[in-house]
């Protein structure tokens, strides 16, 4: 321990001892970031009628309750469907936009890029209100199609940014050489470029799914009835009946999201040189 405190922590001469405060600070920040998420996990295994921490008695009854409830199952199914569809809509559109912006020397490309990522910067509640008014006219409120399209608005910027970053480190001459050797532009992209940026595309697709799966604000406006998403139903449940089912669902969602994020990291790392 003594040795470790006095050992240099980096190429500079700063020792681990001198860095100790930094390690403690970083630890506290990490705990603060993760705690609200992690705290629902013990709460979900409580036997009590109410959300409580720490639980006095343990049980899995709220998991049973969740899986037995037709309402919760329907909401889960809606969320998974919308998440998958959002992924399928946002990924190709985002990839195409990122590619187009990357290869074009169009004068207003930067302007188009900013426009594409605007949904990330505008308060989501504004998008929710706007989408709601448009959807009333189009009769898209409370439809799978409607929620999918609205979630795609949020997911496309992520895809554009992730794939755009991958294209920046990709050597476009490969595509040029493929074209000079006889490939059409589309074939050159599919056979040469896409396989080499595929990890970023997969990462982007998973992020698109999570974006939709976790989204609640827009869902509040335009998802309801039979097509209520899981997050929306949870929000309602929190308001009407505070029982630990919420905690069990949260735990499952954390598990799903974490798995996808870890998967995206593994995919992103593999061969990522």
Residue closer to another protein, measured from CB, 13 or 173: 173
- The C-alpha atoms of residue 231 and residue 87 are separated, in whole angstroms, by 18
- Count of residues of this chain found to bind another protein when the rule CB under 8 A is applied: 18
- The C-alpha atoms of residue 125 and residue 73 are separated, in whole angstroms, by 27
Residue 46 phi/psi, 5° resolution? -80, 150
Residue closer to another protein, measured from CB, 1 or 181: 181
User: What single-letter DSSP state applies at residue 46?
Assistant: B
Residue closer to another protein, measured from CB, 132 or 170: 170
CA-to-CA dists, residue 200 to 192, 203, 268, angstroms: 15, 5, 6
Shortest reach from residue 264's CB to another protein, in Å: 20
H helices of 140-244, in order, are 144-168, 173-180, 185-188, 194-214, 217-222, 230-240
14 binds another protein (CB under 8 A): no
Residues in Cβ contact with 95 at an 8 Å cutoff, skipping those fewer than 6 apart: 159, 163, 201, 204
Shortest reach from residue 193's CB to another protein, in Å: 10
Interacting residues with another protein between 122 and 181 (CB under 8 A): 171, 173-174, 176-181
* Structure tokens belonging to residue 37: 């998420």
187 binds another protein (CB under 8 A): yes
Interacting residues with another protein between 188 and 247 (CB under 8 A): 188, 192, 195-196
Question: Helix, strand, or coil here: 273?
Answer: coil
Shortest reach from residue 163's CB to another protein, in Å: 17
104 binds another protein (CB under 8 A): no
Residue closer to another protein, measured from CB, 10 or 173: 173
Shortest reach from residue 92's CB to another protein, in Å: 21
- The correct pick among 49, 59, 184, 265 for binding another protein (CB under 8 A) is 184
Shortest reach from residue 103's CB to another protein, in Å: 11
Residues in Cβ contact with 33 at an 8 Å cutoff, skipping those fewer than 6 apart: none
Positions touching another protein (CB under 8 A) are: 171, 173-174, 176-185, 187-188, 192, 195-196
């Amino acid at each position: 321990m003594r040795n470790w405190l006095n050992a240099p922590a980096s190429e500079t001469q700063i020792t681990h001892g001198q860095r100790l405060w930094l390690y403690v600070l970083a630890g506290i920040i990490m705990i603060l970031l993760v705690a609200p998420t992690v705290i629902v996990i013990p709460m979900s295994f409580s036997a009590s009628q109410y959300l409580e921490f720490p639980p006095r008695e343990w049980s899995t009854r709220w998991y049973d309750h969740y899986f037995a409830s037709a309402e919760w199952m329907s909401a889960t199914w809606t969320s998974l469907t919308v998440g998958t569809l959002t992924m399928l809509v946002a990924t190709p559109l985002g990839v195409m936009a990122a590619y187009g912006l990357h290869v074009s020397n169009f004068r207003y490309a930067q302007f188009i890029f900013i426009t594409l990522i605007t949904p990330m910067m505008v308060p989501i509640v504004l998008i929710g209100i706007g989408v709601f008014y448009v959807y009333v006219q189009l009769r898209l409120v409370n439809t799978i199609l409607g929620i999918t399209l609205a979630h795609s608005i949020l997911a496309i910027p992520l895809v554009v940014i992730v794939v755009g970053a991958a294209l920046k480190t990709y050597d476009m001459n490969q595509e040029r050489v493929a074209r000079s050797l006889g490939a059409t532009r589309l074939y050159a992209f599919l056979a040469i470029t896409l396989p080499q940026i595929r990890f970023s595309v997969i990462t982007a697709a998973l992020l698109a799914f999570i974006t939709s799966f976790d989204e609640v604000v827009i869902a509040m406006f335009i998802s309801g009835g039979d097509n209520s998403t899981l997050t929306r139903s949870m929000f309602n449940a929190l308001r009407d009946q505070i029982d630990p089912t919420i905690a069990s669902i949260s735990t499952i969602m954390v598990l799903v999201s974490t798995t996808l994020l870890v998967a995206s990291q593994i995919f992103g790392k593999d061969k990522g040189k």
